[in-house]
Structure 1
Amino acid sequence: MNQIQRYYLSSSFFLIFHFLPLIAEPISSFSLKSFNGDKDSDFNSDFALLGDAQIANEGNFVNLTSPNSGSSSGQIVYKKPFTFIDSKSSKPISFSTEFTFTITPGDGDGMAFVIFPKVEELSKVFDQGYFGLSGMVDQKFVAVEYDTRKDDNVGDFNGNHVGVDVGNFVSEEISDVSSIGLLLNGGVPLKSWIDYEASSKRLEIRLAESGTERPYNPLIFYPIDLSKMWDSKDLLVGISSSSGNSSQISSLSSWSFEIRTIPSSLHSEPLNPESKMDENQRVPMKKSCFLTILGGVIFATGCGTMLAFIALFLWVIFFGRHSNVVPELPMNPVDFKYEKVDVTVDNVDDESTRLSTG
């Protein structure tokens, strides 16, 4: 396959795998790059720091655990609830989150990103146990753990892995971080991306050193239907850590989170074909029509571009290498020179007389 063929093939895959996120409809989001209420007026009203969590280095990061305690745990929680089914449109909700963290050497639990049902008192679901989350054993929760301690009681195979926990701390899916050349508690800033796609019901986790590009392949791919798990319940998200009996410190230096819906015209099937929306939940007609038309135009443009790439790719494969076109030779005017030639003929009779006389 030549360079042109590879270019059009890669372009086609880019359009296929990156088209849907471009037309997703964002609902709400936040992006934390500082943790100081003096710099961000919304921080104190939107976020809660629990346990030993405290702002450090003038708001540049949050220490979730404290080195001054032999057993420390702490959490940061976004206090605005959300659901995995949009109450206005009944569309399933997708989410994406990314955060940069550092875990110092030590035999602590590490840290975890967690989704859990809203409670009146947050302090009742956090404690000194696994990742500071043991109080959630009576709750339906989903956590992505960044585990730095091997615990045979929950089936850990080493102290350097990422796992998906559903309702308990025996991971449903687990991946060795050593396989990508990273160490969770090496004191090096790491960045993780967690994405849930409602249309395909999949959870993907990626991990890399901070400052590097987002990995193409996920570290973990886990199928799960979060809308079925929680239905329309109000949920919260947070990041929690526990140092165990060590002096391990888990720090968070940035965190962003976004929830969004995919336009219904792009879903292969409705969430519940038999359900109907109440009249007071319907989207206004003008807005609905506009979004439908806009989505259709973007979809048609993307499909047209993709088909053009594919057609050109196939033409290069089947016809480009067998071209029988004969190149035309240049036709330039040529000057010809004509000269007059004088021809002299001797008298034949005189020559014959001389031959006879002799």
Structure 2
Amino acid sequence: MFLKHVFMLFFLVTLVASVDNSFIYNGFQSSHLNLDGIAELTSNGLLKLTNDTERAKGYAFYPNPIVFKNTSNESVSSFSTTFVFAIRPQYPPFSGQGIVFVLSPTKGLPNSLPSQYLGLFNDSNNGNSNNHVFGVELDTRQDLQFDDINDNHVGIDINYLKSANSTPAGYYNDHGQFRELSLSNGFPIQVWIDYDGVKKKIDVTLAPMSVGASNKPTQPLLSLTKDLSSILNNRMYVGFSSSTGLLVASHYILGWSFKVNGQAQNLEISELPKLTVFAEVKKSKFLTVGLPLILLSLLFMITLGVIYYIKRKMFAEILEDWEHEYGPHRFKFKDLYFATKGFREKGLLGVGGFGRVYKGVIPSSKLEVAVKRVSHESRQGMREFVSEIVSIGRLRHRNLVHLHGYCRRKSELLLVYDYMPNGSLDNYLYNQPKVRLNWSQRYRIIKGVASGVVYLHEEWEKVVIHRDIKASNVLLDSEFNARLGDFGLSRLYDHGADPHTTHLAGTIGYLAPEHIRTGKATKFSDMFSFGAFLLEVACGRRPISNVGENESVILVDCVFECWKRGDILEAKDVNLGTNYVSEEVELVLKLGLLCSHSEPLARPGMRQVVQYLERDIPLPDLPSLSLSSSGLTFGYQEYFEDFPLSYPSSMDKTMSHTSVSISDSLLSGGR
């Protein structure tokens, strides 16, 4: 009897293992799949995940969990799957969302969202390592929120809709040539997904169904080396997820094969159900000729209406009555969208503390611009802020980046600047740049920035306090002339007026101690920032840099120590070599110390700095100014307890983009 029970137990375990190891569906006539959302099986055996319902989800999962892990070492076994899908948009070429092949701990994905979330995640769990979800997305929309590369791509998703790897959809023919493939062309496309449990490698391959199941391309479209052992649980459910947004499409699966520890069985292409086509009606001429023409005309008008509606939604902007007075300073989002080719990653110039910057060309004027996208959550003070932006747009100086205007749309503000072909100065000072600036170029840049700040402080109709003078905000034109830019934190007030207190804003290492204490941004606080800027240009080092896990070096202290030892030139950038004017380098270093004085009134004004740099007046002897290490302190250690500041994980690498956390948004609080 005991042996009989043992035999029965062995038989049941063997049966379960075999059932949950592989399956194949050449059509889904009697598949017993677990369906959820708007997913359904058609009468001819198609798995239809979605229909023309807006903002809906559709799921189909194999009903039994699959055992993925090797019980001996808890590693994920090799697995293979192949399926044929088709996406038919309701209004081509607007394709809506895509399909995801997914491995999930549950038979479905509860609390997930449709539209750009593809039915996988929601805004709170997207990117959570506890999801234990693996997916391969066949996406037909570009969502900048998830850094999608285009609107027709394949991506490997691991707990996150920002794909671990992605590539434009297509396949490689027998000659290794890449052929583009539209995922939403309405025709069947076959997909192969293979995971090698030994090499820990995922391969994704695509081809039109006409290629045939036995003619799988030899070169994968997309690969990723990733050990899935920490991602997948011992038992997982396999299936498909899809969703619709404002634009809808029907997502079909025609056949599906899956296997663990082996190659998935080839689909029988000839046995797969056929996608429906419009039936021919052979009756009167009205039915065969007139009615189709009427319907075609009607469809054409509806399509135009839909396109118009979509464009209106896509390019919708916030426009209030008071903005009409700003006229040419307000750009249409549509123009900026086309100028930047849809804000594609290829045109990304950089990522700063307050947003991403893209290169663009305004279609009407062919003007090259840099467009900065700034997210904001609050409209508090918006009218005053835009008024200042428009005012700053009237600034005209050869050493200032021209701010052409702005655009407001949904939850973001876009600022439009001149495009500077040689990028920002910090790219030529740090991280082993390809092009080294010699001293002559650096000195010309310093004098250019000083001239621009004189204009801001004294020569324009209002006083402009920049509040963020630093190397990363100094841009270089085609001749390496300096242009001070990024006026997102600037403050304006009338000549002779006392600047009012505002929320602290700026970058660690450039903030004057009195600015931290009072919150007031003044000409003196700009001079402190300029002093830090002088030292970083002359020394090729950031104002604060890490030398260990818990230790930082303050540049002004190092320069001060060299000055005390009687050899201030010891602090200069070693990359200057011997081709420099020692008197000029010494002048800049001493000026940097003078501008870094903790007492605001001890710092020179910017016009006086220009006179020093042009050698019109001699620089006073520093000892006569009672400089000391206490007089040069940044003041941060003393006041950090009163202000919550944010630090980068690697200050030496990212300091130029680190800002005080209480001004994380351009528009929060004091704006």
Q: TM-score, normalised by structure 2?
A: 0.32
Could you say what secondary structure the match of 1:102 adopts? strand
* Residues 109 and 119 in structure 2, CA contact (< 8 A), matched pair in contact too: no
State whether structure 2 residue 39 is matched by structure 1 residue 53: yes
State whether structure 2 residue 131 is matched by structure 1 residue 143: no
Q: Which among 52, 58, 62 is matched to residue 74 of structure 1?
A: 58
The residue number in structure 1 matching 2:203 is 204
* Residues 49 and 241 in structure 2, CA contact (< 8 A), matched pair in contact too: yes
Could you say what secondary structure the match of 1:112 adopts? strand
Deviation at 1:118, TM superposition (A): 3.1
State whether structure 2 residue 44 is matched by structure 1 residue 86: no
Deviation at 1:227, TM superposition (A): 2.1
Could you say what secondary structure the match of 1:162 adopts? strand
Gap change, CA 1:186 and 1:81, over 3 Å in 2: same
Deviation at 1:48, TM superposition (A): 0.5
The residue number in structure 2 matching 1:222 is 224
CA distance in 2, matches of 1:89, 1:32: 31
Matches within 5 A, 1:26-65: 28-37=21-30, 43-44=31-32, 47-56=33-42, 58-65=43-50
CA distance in 2, matches of 1:148, 1:27: 32
Deviations 1:102-155 (A, max 9, x none): 011333121010112136xx3625442421112563512111000100111111
Could you say what secondary structure the match of 2:230 adopts? helix
Deviation at 1:92, TM superposition (A): 4.3
Q: Which among 98, 122, 126 is matched to residue 110 of structure 1?
A: 98
Deviation at 1:26, TM superposition (A): 11
Deviations 1:184-222 (A, max 9, x none): 001111000000010110000000001312110000110
Number of equivalent positions: 226
User: Could you tell me which amino acid in structure 1 is paired with residue 95 of structure 2?
Assistant: D
Could you say what secondary structure the match of 2:184 adopts? coil
CA distance in 2, matches of 1:157, 1:127: 21
Could you say what secondary structure the match of 1:104 adopts? strand
Higher RCO structure, 1 or 2 (CA under 8 Å, sep 6+): 1
Q: Which among 114, 130, 140 is matched to residue 128 of structure 1?
A: 114
Deviation at 1:261, TM superposition (A): 6.8
User: Could you tell me which amino acid in structure 1 is paired with residue 34 of structure 2?
Assistant: A
* Residues 146 and 184 in structure 1, CA contact (< 8 A), matched pair in contact too: yes
The residue number in structure 2 matching 1:250 is 251
User: Could you tell me which amino acid in structure 2 is paired with residue 30 of structure 1?
Assistant: F
User: Could you tell me which amino acid in structure 2 is paired with residue 82 of structure 1?
Assistant: I
Gap change, CA 1:132 and 1:183, over 3 Å in 2: same
In structure 2, stretches of 5+ residues that fail to align are: 1-17, 171-177, 264-671
* Residues 80 and 262 in structure 2, CA contact (< 8 A), matched pair in contact too: no
CA distance in 1, matches of 2:162, 2:185: 24
The residue number in structure 1 matching 2:602 is none
Deviation at 1:233, TM superposition (A): 3.0
Q: Which has the higher strand share?
A: 1
User: Could you tell me which amino acid in structure 2 is paired with residue 181 of structure 1?
Assistant: E
Deviations 1:279-311 (A, max 9, x none): xxxxxxxxxxxxxxxxxxxxxxxxxxxxxxxxx
> RMSD of the alignment, in Å?
2.4
CA distance in 2, matches of 1:125, 1:140: 15
Could you say what secondary structure the match of 1:211 adopts? helix
Q: Percent identity?
A: 30
State whether structure 2 residue 177 is matched by structure 1 residue 153: no
Gap change, CA 1:95 and 1:247, over 3 Å in 2: same
Could you say what secondary structure the match of 1:227 adopts? helix
Deviations 1:240-292 (A, max 9, x none): 11122112111110011101179xxxxxxxxxxxxxxxxxxxxxxxxxxxxxx
User: Could you tell me which amino acid in structure 2 is paired with residue 172 of structure 1?
Assistant: A
CA distance in 1, matches of 2:198, 2:210: 30
Gap change, CA 1:229 and 1:134, over 3 Å in 2: closer
Gap change, CA 1:140 and 1:191, over 3 Å in 2: same
The residue number in structure 1 matching 2:648 is none
CA distance in 2, matches of 1:91, 1:141: 16
State whether structure 2 residue 169 is matched by structure 1 residue 177: yes
Q: Which among 77, 85, 106 is matched to residue 101 of structure 1?
A: 85
CA distance in 2, matches of 1:111, 1:159: 13
Gap change, CA 1:211 and 1:90, over 3 Å in 2: same
User: Could you tell me which amino acid in structure 2 is paired with residue 52 of structure 1?
Assistant: I
Deviation at 1:78, TM superposition (A): 1.1
User: Could you tell me which amino acid in structure 2 is paired with residue 197 of structure 1?
Assistant: D
Q: TM-score, normalised by structure 1?
A: 0.58
Deviation at 1:91, TM superposition (A): 6.7
CA distance in 1, matches of 2:102, 2:206: 16
Gap change, CA 1:27 and 1:65, over 3 Å in 2: closer
Matches within 5 A, 1:266-285: none
Deviation at 1:172, TM superposition (A): 0.9
Gap change, CA 1:237 and 1:184, over 3 Å in 2: same
Deviation at 1:76, TM superposition (A): 0.6
Deviation at 1:63, TM superposition (A): 1.1
Deviation at 1:27, TM superposition (A): 7.1
Gap change, CA 1:104 and 1:33, over 3 Å in 2: same
Gap change, CA 1:115 and 1:195, over 3 Å in 2: same
CA distance in 1, matches of 2:61, 2:19: 21
Could you say what secondary structure the match of 2:249 adopts? coil
In structure 1, stretches of 5+ residues that fail to align are: 1-24, 38-42, 263-358
Could you say what secondary structure the match of 1:175 adopts? strand
